[in-house]
Structure 1
Amino acid sequence: MIKFLYPIISLLALTLTSCGKSYNVIGTSNVSNLDGRMLYLKVLKNNEFKTIDSCDVVHGQFHFEGTFDSVRMANIFMDDESVLPLVIENGDINIKIDNTQQTVSGTPLNDKLFKFFNKYNQMKNLENELVHKHDQAIMNGRNMNVVNANLNKEAARLSQQEDNLITSFVTENFDNILGPGVFFMVTINYQYPELTPWIEDIMSKATDNFKSDKYVKDYYKKALENQQIMNGMRGAPANAQPAQAPAAPNAAPTPNEMARPSQPPMTR
């Protein structure tokens, strides 16, 4: 009887294991310099990117698959260069990479994240169009005082819309991985953690779930320490530098643009 039960128990255990959460990333690319290259799927762990999977790009196709314990943000890297972010979640995740854009779709959080990226990119395109209008006005001999006044007004309007977009997205996603994930993208290229008005606004609204995210918690703690040092409320060791944020990856264009602290959305 024992000999009979053993294979049944083993089969049951295998079945239960196979029913766990799994991801399946199916990618296509028409970017020539990706073909034949190794791609790495990495997640942020202890403020460092750790590889969880890798694959070759063969004839414009690549594929990652595996299991996971919890939904989390990840990045696809080529060598040390980040190609694009995505969410590791249950289901088939479809990636398309070409010379003009990168998209991830097929699962709820990835669809939501890249819908946000598309809106953000539309705003950046409108901002770039202002530069074209400025150059065109010079060539047409327009009154540049009037032109610049109008362009500055439009730039301020777009900056406010961009600010509202990022803030609303983070606050609407406090309790899933997207809120902390976009917060990470915005702040990762800061020279050191700082309490900008945008950060203070976000943290004043934040839920306990958002505040307990490891990166958010660590960033905010260091930003408070740096603020106290700059305000003379806390002593700093001789020759000490402000507490540093984790090293930033060479991120994909959209997250990298978002991460520049000098941009209006970060300095409301």
Structure 2
Amino acid sequence: MEAVVYLNGERVDYADARVSVEDRGFQFGDGLYEVVRVYGGRFFYLNRHLKRLQKGAEEIYMELDFGLDRLRDVCKKAVVESGFKDASVYIQVTRGVAPRQHAFPEKSSCTWVVIVRQAKPQPDEFYENGVKVITVPDERWTRCNIKTVQLIANCIAKEKAKRAGAYEAVFHRGGIVTEGSSSNLFIVKDRKLFTHPANNLILHGITRSVVLEIAEKLGFDVVEEAFSLDRLFDADEAFVTGTMTEVMPIVKVDGKMIGDGVPGEMTRDIMREFRKLTETVDE
């Protein structure tokens, strides 16, 4: 089975899943999305993802007319029907179908999609040896805290990383580091953990929030503040986080070695605690 697809609450064959040519998600990128990980049949912080989806909808004046309880039920049903114990659940919601005009339609019903696929974990050697990343100017809009489907700037950055043989592209605005094209970024310096504050310039990542909780549990000093490219290059350790990325150590940035060129001690501690959570969390 390639995937289980639900469209507007009804299961459809993958090949038959269709949306209107006048869906605002298609014409304007007027929509939101979430990606949720399932480990061993257990959802990893599904409720946090749904809470962020609701918050994003409020930010763009979109009413989730189908209801989050129904969406939650469909996600769980789709995972069971898929038979995948380790899965990724993609959720997308648009403002729906209306004649094309920039102003929001007075009346429309959301188009909402749930797609469940078998998860494809990152290679073990990435976690063991670390990965390299590149830096690119952050050319996105300034509401990056809203998880919209408008991702072309992210896609261009990811393509640049791919062409450079790198795992990820790290954004910076005028030399100030923000986050990755599909991840949040952390650095370690002098046994302190640094990450960009959760404001409008970054996505408030679910995995990011989990890592901050882990760091507090481990007694690490955590500083949420913006930092420069120079501080990134001078870091003792660095890693990126995300739903499918999990906690990924970085050993090179723009060809410059980070620390000793191997995943650092604090990064490994966080990775270990994160993995424990994937074996227990179910919400």
On whether the aligned pair clears a TM of 0.5, the verdict is: no
Determine which structure has more spread, i.e. the larger CA radius of gyration.
1
| Greater share of strand | 2
